[in-house]
Amino acid sequence: MLPQHLKQIRVLMLNEKENLERTLFRLEQGFELQFRLGPSLQGRKVMVHTNYPLEGQPFQRHNFHVLEWNYPSGKDDDSDKFCSLNLKIAGSYQYYFGYTERSGGGYIVVDPVLCVGADNHVLPLDCITIQTYLSKCLGHLDDWPDRLRVAKESGYNMIHFTPLQTLGESRSCYSLADQLAVNPDFIPEGQSYSWVDVGALVEKLRKEWNMLCITDVVYNHTAANSVWIREHPECGYNLVNSPHLRPAWVLDRALWHLTTRVAEGRYKAKGLPADITNDSHLNAIRTVLRQDLFPEIKLWEFYQVKVESAVEQFRILLQNGSKPDHSKTGGKPGLKIVQDPQFHRYGNTVDMDSALETFVPHSSLPQHIEECCGWLRQKLSDLNKEQLHIIQQHQEQAANCIVGNVVYERLADHGPKLGPVNRKNPLVTRYFTFPYQDMTLEQELQLLDQPDKSCHFLAHNGWVMGDDPLRNFAEPGSNVYLRRELICWGDSVKLRYGNGPEDCPYLWAHMQKYTEITAKYFHGVRLDNCHSTPLHVAEAMLDAARAVRPNLYVIAELFTGSELIDNVFVNRLGISSLIREAMSAGDSHEEGRLVYRYGGEPVGAFVQPSLRPLMPSIAHAMFLDVTHDNECPIQLRSALDSLPSSAIVSMACCATGSTRGYDELVPHQISVVKEERFYPKWNPAAPATSASEVGFHTGIIAGKLALNKLHQELAAQGFIQVYVDQVDADIVAITRHCPSTHQSVVAVCRTAFKDPKTHQYDTNVPPMFIPGKIEEVILEARTVDRHAGTYKKDDGYINGMPEYTVEIKEHIPHILLSGVTSKGRSEFVQEITFQKLTPGSVIAFRVSLDPKAQKLVGVLRHYLSQFSPKYRRGSTADENPPEVLQKPLAQLMSKLTLADLNVLLFRCDSEEQEDGGGCYNIPGWETLKYAGLQGLMSVLADIRPNNDLGHPVCANLRQGDWLIDFVSNRLVNREGPLAQVGQWLGAMFNYMKHIPRYLIPCYFDAILVSTYTTALDAAYKLMSRSLSVTWRWRMFPIVSIQSQARRSSLPHFSSGIFRCWGRDTFIALRGLMLLTGRHTEARNIILAFAGTLRHGLIPNLLGEGRCARYNCRDALWWWLQCIQDYATHIPQGHEILNCLVTRMYPTDDCEPRKPGEVEQPLYDVIQEALQRHLEGISFRERNAGPKIDMNMRDEGFSVAAKVDPATGFISGGNRFNCGTWMDKMGESEKARNKGMPATPRDGAAVEIVGLSKSAVRWVVELHAKGLFPYDGTKIHRDGKEVFVSYSQWNQQLQQSFEAAFWVSGDPKDPNEKHPDLVHKKGIYKDSYGASSPWCDYQLRPNFTIAMVVAPELFTVERAWKALDVAEKKLLGPLGMKTLDPDDMVYCGVYDNALDNDNYNLAKGFNYHQGPEWLWPVGYFLRAKLYFAKKLGQETYGQTVNLVKNVLSRHYTHLERSPWRGLPELTNENGQYCKFSCETQAWSLATVLEVLYDL
């Protein structure tokens, strides 16, 4: 068991309706797979099902079980819960998930572990080098070791055998007569070898030669002469179990008789001789088909109705007064024809119910019945004509396919040139078996109706060009056989499995036994013709195979033309490797691209964490220079290309291989059907001219041995990074790099796609510049002409070209270099000029970093290993470590304050500019969002998982040290512990600057990740444990560091006079300061703002103290709420009431006083604020006019607030100002809204009523405890001095609230003053007593604030009803709509730049008239939680689910946002708004408060 920090864990996030059946997820045994809930599933009772077997139980594909959730935090919390699979068994496994019904799912594929040798050491999949053998060319089993030794001595470690079973008549390797018997060709006379003997040889190869063996399984067909298919014809597609093939069989027999007539010369007169050689003969075939054959067999009759019989049946029904069955027709007319399931001529019938519904006589009179029958007769005649037309189209396609087949087989240069038509080589291959004596076509057609005969007419198999691989072309609904679209294998019968074993028991049992034998004796299988094998069949057979051999290696070659469809096969079958072929490349550039495509990371790739998201992958490749059933490369390219193309393949970071004969330069395809010669045996001293033996000097064998050894070494030693360089049109250089030792191997391959004898290659080879120090030349090889005669095909052995051999030198320690140059302090470059890099040559270098760089990388890895053990390999201790690096980084970080951490992690451009700096700009791209680490971490988080080394940030890092220096220098220039962190980074960067530039992005990221995670840990330790959140939610309190309460939002309000807002500060303070443990800062902010009290208000905009504006009615009450929160949340928090406040404005009209000049305890300041509101506040703003607000009308500068003596509500404002948070002032002259508030909310705003109730209730409680000296205050009312007790005020608010604010919708409600204005019932008004009464009745989210701060004002049932309306109408993905979408002025898209004549929209007038603000969602969720608790456990549980679901969307946004924050607002339905602040303090604060409540 690996230690937890080394264990590889992949996380798959589940999202609603996400079906990933066509996405490939590959994992290794020993990995842990964790399923976690994505945002769309948070808060739901999701269950994850899988068919991965429970410990100790066998795998059953259709047996699913539910995975248990793990709760790392010990709480039932969706944010970090996961269920997991510890993957120990290879294969394909399915998962699906849902809460009420299935919501999504997919597959995972676990790779097998392959072991070789007596010690069973592991053979990684990327180490595989495979060679294919046609088994029938190996001779007797006794001779196999001598023939197979060629693979061993050539460096291969896996052998692929074509099937070893008894072959059919055609002798094709893939047409098997008996799937259960060993091919008798392998057994010498007098011996009785069995599968046991084959298995013994395979095991000998595994143990003694370190070689594995795999073989094909063929599920799609069997040889036409298989004995068992004659005994069990139901196992194929015959005319009894598949009567839809009857018309195709008739056509097939007619074509066979045409063949015999053409062969006999009977069509010569029509221009169609037996020897077809030109286009006129092809045209004659079409003419004969159209004029003679098709009219003779009348295929359309199988699809037509016998008109008169149907009409007579209809007539009798009408005469009997029959009526249609409406349950079948649905009462709708429309004639339906029923296809005869047995496909007899004129066997189709009429659905009489549909006829009776469609053709209705006017009466039952005979003439009306006859009229009706005439209508039916005409319709049926028309339908028969339609069928005739359809069949004629099929026949036209059939004619095209027949002619195309003839062209390939008889005329094409690349075809087999079969010669004249005869019985052995018919005009076209027969599509069906015919196991009877010759007879006439008429006699054969009579057999159609004799089931004992027609059951033996079996459909042949083949393939269909461009067909859907997921469709079975022999099943009903397909016309492939009728249209002659099948490229047919006339030696093989297509097998018919049906839907399961119950449909064809014998076939399933037979093939399962065949599979089990194969799995017992071989280490893997190749799925022949995989794309045409029914998936459910292959699934079941591979399940049986894995039951025998769990670590079965499965390979296949797919021709689907689609990676997504490839994935369907790989997923469902658990295919380990897909066969890919270098021969598919048309030039060296494409061949190099395939190397890059099929495996490995890019050189300099980022270090990935052990726990990371599960990323989709492409199928693991088995990259072959050529497959055994494809054309010979020498014929298509040149013999000289064999070595360099092999080298290109060998450098691929995946399984590689070849087919026997390629290395020996056999200059033709070794036919899987016709080849009967034997492979030569191994003899190291074999002469060049020997046909029966091969040795090291045969063909390119010596070169292939070196390349195969190199391939295996690279994979085993962790050279997992790949770079492909197209040096020129013919030269490809491939680098394999080890990311821990930083050694590289570079292979330079000069291809020869064209024969040098006929093509002039450039003699000037460009020099190469190798970064680093060349340690050795691993190999230098080229194909040379050895003048040993020319190729002559041997009769008994598969021999190659003796003309060529490989001249090879290996492990040359020293090389004469044309020049060694140093490019900058970190670039040590060696220039190579090539003397003999002729076409067909390969040279491979082993390259290290130059000694200095190698040492510095080792030191870097040494310091990084304090953060992760993955850096230990390749690490070197520092002999003279700088002082700053002698302490662990965590120790330096522990001295930082939260303010320091804000500098380290965040600070936007305008904040930095105040200190004379700014955020870093990436030339040609953009400026980072933050100067601190988060600015880079957000970008790197997108770059890292995809290894996007082409990103502008990576380019900038490779080009110079500017960004590197920026990161450390901005910290070094500060004082104290931050400077030390800067020095630590600077010291690490100093090492990094001396390593090759291509490695800089990787190590820069590693250093930053280590610093960043250490900083997060340090920050979290400084925060309050009262906000006990799970790991997943930790980012919320961490991000609160950037949202200091003095700063409202980024980037728009981050500096200068607009940095600090009173209302925003105190809405955010509880979440950002109190709940995160920043109590001292909170206390200082409360007291500082207390000092600014004037007119009984605190400022809306602090304006650096120079131009404060006292123009909001709500900030004072948010401030009082925060004092209450401080006093109740913090131990001994009430002591803040006695703290002295330095008053800046002890009277309304005085000049600012000096610090300490006037001081009074906080409780006196609170008393003054309450007294002033009870007395009534009315004043005109200082400097009123365009100087302080260029948009406001004169009346708007008059500020008023008072307590309504009738209700106790704080009331105020006028229609020209906006004293609450919904404070958009019109700016557009064009739309005539300039100086008009969009939302004045004058009167008593609901949240201010709630906040004032909370404050008054609290001072009453404090006074009762002796903590507040005042129980009320004296005021002047109606010319008299009266005493108002706070207790009395509290009771008045309680009694007045619901009567004034609840909208019952009942027209008889005595409390309802304006029943005509109600358009939403069951809600709370937004205000009371507005100058525009209809504004009171608008549905907005503000009442939820009152619910949280003063829940006692609300009756539970009404509150719940109102919250339900708010949820349905206002709740968006991230925020709350600020206005009911049913309101006539609602507009959910905020565009502050728009200036048109629309009063409601121009210049962002709808800022609070629909756009979805985030901070109110916190109050909505908290209110839901509070009242849900009152309604019982079930309701509370459902509410918790809702809350988690909403919060998870915030988490997702936070995680993906480059600002690492929550925005001010979104447009409707959560859409991005470019005019919104990207991160806002109160948005985050209220979410933190919800987390606290949870």
Give the catalytic positions in this structure: 528, 531, 629
Both tokens of 406, joined, read 């003839």
d(CA 285, CA 1164) in angstroms, rounded, equals 111
The DSSP annotation for 672-718 comes to TTT--PBPPEE-TT--TT-SSEE-TTSTTHHHHHHHHHHHHHHHHTT
| Contact status, residue 1287 vs residue 1295, Cβ threshold 8 Å | no
1132 in the Ramachandran plot: left (φ > 0), alpha (ψ -120 to 50) or beta? left
Both tokens of 802, joined, read 């003796």
Rg of the chain (C-alpha set): 42
Q: Which residue pairs from 993-996 have beta carbons closer than 8 angstroms and sit at least 24 positions apart in sequence?
A: 993/825, 993/826, 993/961, 993/964, 994/825, 994/826, 994/852, 994/853, 994/856, 995/826, 995/849, 995/853, 995/856, 995/857, 995/860, 996/771, 996/772, 996/826, 996/827, 996/828, 996/849, 996/853
| Contact status, residue 248 vs residue 290, Cβ threshold 8 Å | no
Nearest to 579 by CA among 629, 515, 523, 507: 629
DSSP state of 614: P
Question: What residue type is 922 in one-letter code?
Answer: I
| Contact status, residue 954 vs residue 1002, Cβ threshold 8 Å | no
Nearest to 1201 by CA among 1186, 1216, 1214: 1214
What angle separates helix 505-521 from helix 195-208, to the nearest 10 degrees? Answer: 30
Both tokens of 434, joined, read 């015919």
d(CA 561, CA 580) in angstroms, rounded, equals 13
d(CA 871, CA 875) in angstroms, rounded, equals 7
Both tokens of 1413, joined, read 């603000």
Question: Any idea which residue has 């690996």 for tokens?
Answer: 2
- The total number of residues written for the chain in this structure: 1494
The contacts of residue 845 (CB under 8 Å, 6+ apart) are: 745, 746, 748, 770, 774, 775, 776, 777, 778, 832
Both tokens of 1387, joined, read 């507009």
Query: Is residue 555 packed enough to be buried (19+ CB in 10 Å), middle (13-18) or exposed (0-12)?
Result: buried
Alpha carbons within 13 A on the beta-carbon side of 1088: 16
CA dihedral 361, 365, 368, 373 (to 10 degrees): 80
The neighbouring-strand residues paired with 806 are 783
d(CA 705, CA 806) in angstroms, rounded, equals 11
Helix, strand, coil percent content, the chain, rounded in steps of 5? 40, 20, 45
Both tokens of 919, joined, read 């955020």
Q: Tell me the three state secondary structure of residue 739.
A: coil
The contacts of residue 1161 (CB under 8 Å, 6+ apart) are: 1137, 1138, 1139, 1140, 1141
The DSSP annotation for 1377-1431 comes to ESS-TTSTT------TT--SS-TTTGGGTTTTSS-EESHHHHHHHHHHHHHHHHT
Nearest to 496 by CA among 519, 472, 518, 524: 472
